[in-house]
Every structure is written in structure tokens, then in C-alpha cells.
Structure 1
Amino acid sequence: MTSLDTTAVPPTVLARPAGTAGTLDARAVSAWFGDRKVLEQVSLLMPAGQVTALIGPSGCGKSTFLRILNRMHELIPGATLAGEVLLDGADIYAPERRLTAARRDIGMVFQKPNPFPAMSIYDNVVAGLKLTGVRASRPEKDQLVEECLTKAGLWREVQDRLRQPGGALSGGQQQRLCIARSLAVRPKILLMDEPCSALDPTSTRRIEQTVRELVHEVTIVIVTHNMQQAQRVSDQCAFFLAEQGTPGAIVEHGPTEAMFSTPVDQRTSDYVNGRFG
């Protein structure tokens, strides 16, 4: 069993404490891949301390929108965008805004778990510290590893094998390890792109439980094709649709309960009730 040094961590080590959820505000966001427009004037407020679910058929721009929220879209050759993305009122695309700062504030968990396979569970969790320029002593890292693995619902399962490779974990455990890795840099926002699509029902339930537990300290935006999951985990939903070759846009958004019980647009009703998509 690997023992951790539980020496108290000075409060100034990591730039901000856990539990500092932020508000994201996308304003008139449009996006292109080369000459092809894929998003049209998308505006959406994602309130602090809530789960916002992005729903809609494949190809309607949900994942593109998610990547725009933490500046991954700009890494794609030929990709461009217009509009603003504000984090607590500050534009994440402002010239003076460093990319590393935006990525630290807005973490990302992908559809397929992507731990560093040859790196230990412990080192996977703290990997983001170096990438974002955060220095921490060994006792501080020890405490952070336990804290983040606990929040991701993984600590009890791996506490006695922290030096084993992260790639040796099951798929559901790897996804929770990726969540722990994202939490280690104290993000204000956590983006999740279909995090359960490749997982079994038991692992899916555990990830969903983790999402509901985390939302008290980090704002979560999740893309999902599972309507039951959207109902279970989210506070509000945004329904994206791209019709007849037009760019993706938001048809309707609002509180999750209302979106599923009394949607305003007939297309929303048809989609959430499984009549297309």
C-alpha cells in the first residue's frame, strides 16, 4: 500500500481553493471549418454551480461548441469563429488572455478516457500542475491526489495502487481518473463530451453521481445523447439542431424539467421523446 504524507497544505500553494465555480456566457458564437459554417449565432448562459446539458442529434455542433468554450477549436487547421465567450465577465479569447490560463480555468473530459497510459495513477492526477506552471511540494501533491481521487469517486478503489499505471484501470475508472486530473488544477468550469458513451451502466451511474457531487464546486457543461442522463444530471438543457444543411443552432434552452415536460418548440418535444435523432 502506498502511504501519503498528510502534512497540512498551506492555503496559498494552489492559486485558488476548490469550490470556485464560474459562470460561462457564450454570446453570438458562430464557427466555421474552412468555408463551411457549422454554428450560427449561439448564445447560452451557463450559470455557476449548475450542470448544463447540451443535447441534439449528431452533427448539430454540440461538441464544436464545447471545444470553443475552452479554446480547442482554434487548434484545428482552417477553423475560425466569431462571437464572445465570457468567463465571469472576462473574454477568454482576449489577446492578453493566455491559453494556459483559459485551459486551467476551463477543464475538459473527453468521450474516450485518455489517461497517460504508462504514467502512474498518482502522476496522472498531478500532471496538469506542471503544464499550467503550478508548483507544489510532495506533501501538497499527496493531499491533492487524495482529494481529487475522492471527489472523482475513485480513491477507495485505487488508494493501495497509486504507483500502478493509469492505463491498467477499467474504462470507467480511467474516466474518473481523467476527471480527477482535471480537478487537480482547480478549474472553475468542467466540460464533458459524452463522458459515459463508452461505459457500462454501472460505470455510467458512478460518473453521473460524481457529476452531481461536483457541481457544488465547479460548473459543468456536458454533451450527451442519452436523454435519461440529461434528465438525471442537469439543471438546464440546450437543444441544438442543424436542419437541411444549415449550421447548428440552439432551438430552445431552459430548465431541464421544463424542457422535457413542457417544451415550447415542437421540434424539442419530438427530439426528447425519441421521435427523431
Structure 2
Amino acid sequence: MTLDDRTTVLPPVPPQAPAAPGAPLDGADGRSLASLEAREVTAWFGDRKVLDRVSLTMPAGRITALIGPSGCGKSTFLRILNRMHELVPSAALAGEVLLDGDDLYDPQFKLTDARRAVGMVFQKPNPFPAMSIRENVLAGLKLTGTRASRSDKDDLVEQCLTRGGLWNEVKDRLDAPGGGLSGGQQQRLCIARSLAIRPKVLLMDEPCSALDPTSTRVIEETMKELAQEVTIVIVTHNMQQAARVSDQCAFFLAAHGTPGVIVEHGDTEAMFSRPRDQRTADYVHGRFG
């Protein structure tokens, strides 16, 4: 079997049709939006338990913010959601991660399919420095074995850079190195690169922590727009950012050497104005962390 035999042709984006009563929520690109659910997730690094029976539903087409002090397991939990946790030799995991009811850790679920369905944007922008802006956006197609014509690729580059909030700034220099962009532009390029493989969920690990306020504002606006097309889960230490961009929050805490747990989760406005747990109130109002 040749490489071409194993590749798949990039399908066109279908027009969006009105949803029937009770039908799955559709995104702006016409695809059904996906929910993500963690059930009783427990994680270890060697003998050290870092998460203990964490359960959380991340609704389709919404932004879920994971908040809490450093070392409470937020980023570990985020990496579990697209099977990056298993890359660590000493890592172990119990529980389930369900994407629209399908367990991502089921032996029948291929790792490449999991990564295609659940994309990741990291804390530090990581464009491929030797690639142009255009090549960066299209890099995911090669990695996932997706084949497309030149015109389809051109359309995809424009579409993804537009969705990433970057098209107007780079449309006249698509062949320039991706590493030559500013920090905020590089992060938006990484978002565009993630969107090129059409994920159902986009994970973002402190995507604005290294950016200036102006770039942070642009990334936040981009996230709100993207929530019409993909389900977003973001780790952030910035409480103002969590309040601005997220629909729901989950507050993680690991006290006195114990593994991380979710203390409280729910609607963002309620979490910040009417938290049920005093520890949540203390954290969101800056009394610790």
C-alpha cells in the first residue's frame, strides 16, 4: 500500500442547515459540536498520584476554564483529554474520557484519531521556524495523512488564518517564516494550524501567559468566535481572563501534598459571584494562589 492509498481527501465544508428539535448543536461550519466528559479520572506519575477521581463535563460549543493554583493538576488533566499524558513513561491513568460518548482511551480508538479530534495549543507559541506561515498552517495535513488540491489548500490557509484572527495581518506575506511573527501572531498561527485538521475540541494551556495585553485581548476575542465551531477547554491563572471568556469554570485544588481534585465547578458568573465553597471564593478573589 502506498502513502497515497492511505491518505484521505479533505472534504469540503458543508453548508449549515437549521437544526431540528432535539438534534445535536451545530457549529458555524455545519458540523455537530462535540461534548467532552471526564469520568473518575485518576492520574499518577510513578508512585505519585496527581489527580484523584476527577469528573467534569465540558459542554459542546462552550468555553470551559480550568482554574486553580500551580501544582494542582490542571495542565495534567488538560493533557489527559487528548492522550498526551501517556507519552510520559512513568504516567498511569484510570477513568474515562468520552468524546460524544466514545472513550478516547478505548484500545479501538487510534491515537492519531484522538489527536485529530482534540487539538492542543500550548503555553509558549511553537510555530515550526523553518516553515513559512502557509506551511505552518498546512503542517497538520501531512501529519494526519490528509490530501488536498492546491486550491483547497489555499482556501484552507485563508479560512484557518481568518478563524485564527490573523489573515488580514499576514495575507500578503504567507511565504515569510512563521518564526518571524510577533509572539501574539505566532500564538494565533498555532491556533490556525490546530484548526486546519478540523478538531472537535481545542485545548489551550495558558495561551496568553507570555503575551502582552493587546495580544491577549485579540486571542480572547478569537476564542469567543471559535466557540461557535469547536468546544474549547482552557487552563488559565488569570481570573479576569476566566471571567471574560469562559462559560463555565472548574476550580482545581491540591492541598498539603494531596492529589488534585475539583473543589467546585459550574457557571462562570455564579462561580465568581456566588461560589458554594469558601475555598473557591478565596481563590477567585485573590486571597491565595
Q: TM-score, normalised by structure 2?
A: 0.91
- Counterpart contact for 1:14–1:134, Cα < 8 Å: no
5+ residue gaps, structure 1, are: 1-11
Cα deviations by residue, 1:99-152 (Å, 9 ceiling, x for unpaired): 000000000000000000110000000100111111111100000000000011
Cα deviations by residue, 1:162-218 (Å, 9 ceiling, x for unpaired): 001000000000000000000000000000000000000000000000000000110
Tell me the distance in 2 between the aligned counterparts of 1:160 and 1:39: 47
Structure 2 match to 1:109: 121
Structure 2 match to 1:14: 11
1:85 aligns with 2:97: yes
Q: TM-score, normalised by structure 1?
A: 0.94
- Candidates 147, 161, 167, aligned match of 1:135: 147
Q: 1:63 to 1:15 in 2, by over 3 A?
A: farther
Deviation at 1:16, TM superposition (A): 6.6
1:217 aligns with 2:229: yes
Identity of aligned residues (%): 77
Structure 2 match to 1:163: 175
Equivalenced residues, count: 266
Q: 1:38 to 1:15 in 2, by over 3 A?
A: farther
- Candidates 35, 48, 56, aligned match of 1:44: 56
- Counterpart contact for 1:109–1:179, Cα < 8 Å: yes
Alignment of 1:25-40 (within 5 A): 25-40=37-52
1:59 aligns with 2:71: yes
Deviation at 1:14, TM superposition (A): 3.0
Structure 1 residue matching 2:189: 3-state secondary structure:
helix
- Which structure has the higher relative contact order (CA within 8 Å, separation 6+)? 1
1:121 aligns with 2:133: yes
Structure 2 match to 1:74: 86
Tell me the distance in 1 between the aligned counterparts of 2:30 and 2:74: 26
Tell me the distance in 1 between the aligned counterparts of 2:287 and 2:111: 41
Tell me the distance in 2 between the aligned counterparts of 1:90 and 1:30: 18
Deviation at 1:13, TM superposition (A): 2.8
Tell me the distance in 1 between the aligned counterparts of 2:91 and 2:54: 16
Tell me the distance in 2 between the aligned counterparts of 1:99 and 1:16: 24
RMSD of Structure 2 on Structure 1 (CA): 1.0
Tell me the distance in 2 between the aligned counterparts of 1:146 and 1:161: 12
